[in-house]
């Protein structure tokens, strides 16, 4: 039997993940059946199970990709000679497409809703949150080290607060059509500087 090239396998996996993002964003995790997912991905059940053993495994893969994107952005920022203003950096997380949610902010809301219902998805969410919190706290420590934030700043509580702002922006983007990434940048800039 001929061996399938890795590039083909990687493309098929991306195809399934893209279909899952569209289905979950449109219908929610729970309401998306395996039949819906297979039809959207244009793969057979066997083709799907070659890559994933459940819908929860797809959610884990989507979360892993988002974490990789956020981690790559953090590494890029840390290695720069000049750090961007903090609101600009956070704004990069919600651009189109977003490193966090791709093209559809509804995807994150659907996953959060499923996390409230499913223990397995909640555990994935908790792990992902801790990872993002750690990445953001590390970035804040770099800003503090370079004298761009107060020396006594406790990075973990600030990271959680900023994640809350990001989550709120995601909800607004999903539900309020006139919300833009610049709204987050401008709002954070005004809060940080005390100017409007």
- Give the closest residue to 162 by CA, choosing from 133, 186, 128, 141: 133
Query: Looking at domain 55-193, which CATH architecture does it have?
Result: Orthogonal Bundle (1.10)
pLDDT at 22: 92
Q: Average pLDDT, whole number, for the chain?
A: 89
**Would you state the pLDDT for residue 67?**
86
- Residue 91 to residue 181: CA distance in whole angstroms: 6
pLDDT in tens, the chain (196 residues): 557 788 888 899 999 999 999 999 888 888 899 999 999 999 999 999 999 999 889 988 988 888 888 889 888 988 889 999 999 999 988 988 888 888 889 888 888 888 888 888 888 889 889 999 999 999 999 999 999 999 999 999 999 999 999 999 999 999 998 999 899 999 999 988 765 4
Phi, psi values for residue 98, rounded to 5° = -90, 140
- Give the pLDDT score at 194: 63
Burial profile 27-45: b = 16 or more Cβ within 10 angstroms, e = fewer: bbbeebeeebbbebbebee
CA distance 171 to 81: 33
Q: What is the pLDDT of residue 154?
A: 96
In contact, 28 and 108? CB cutoff 8 Å: no
The token pair at 89 is: 């950096």
d(CA 99, CA 117): 25
């Amino acid at each position: 039997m001929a061996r399938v090239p890795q590039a083909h396998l990687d493309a098929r996996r991306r195809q399934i993940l893209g279909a899952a993002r569209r289905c979950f964003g449109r219908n929610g995790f729970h309401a998306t059946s395996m039949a819906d997912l297979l039809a959207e991905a244009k793969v057979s059940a066997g083709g799907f199970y070659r890559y994933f053993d459940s819908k929860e495994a797809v959610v884990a893969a989507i979360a892993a990709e988002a974490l990789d994107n956020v981690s790559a952005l953090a590494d890029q920022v840390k290695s720069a000679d000049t750090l961007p203003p903090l609101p600009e950096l956070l704004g990069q997380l919600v651009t189109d497409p977003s490193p966090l949610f791709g093209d559809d902010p509804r995807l994150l809301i659907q996953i959060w809703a499923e996390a409230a219902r499913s223990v397995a998805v909640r555990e994935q969410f908790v792990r992902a949150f801790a990872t993002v919190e750690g990445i953001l706290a590390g970035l804040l420590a770099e800003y503090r080290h370079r004298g761009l934030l107060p020396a006594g700043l406790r990075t973990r509580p600030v990271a959680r607060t900023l994640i809350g702002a990001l989550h709120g922006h995601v909800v607004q983007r999903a539900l309020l059509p006139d919300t833009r990434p610049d709204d987050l940048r401008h709002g954070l800039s005004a809060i940080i500087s005390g100017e409007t």
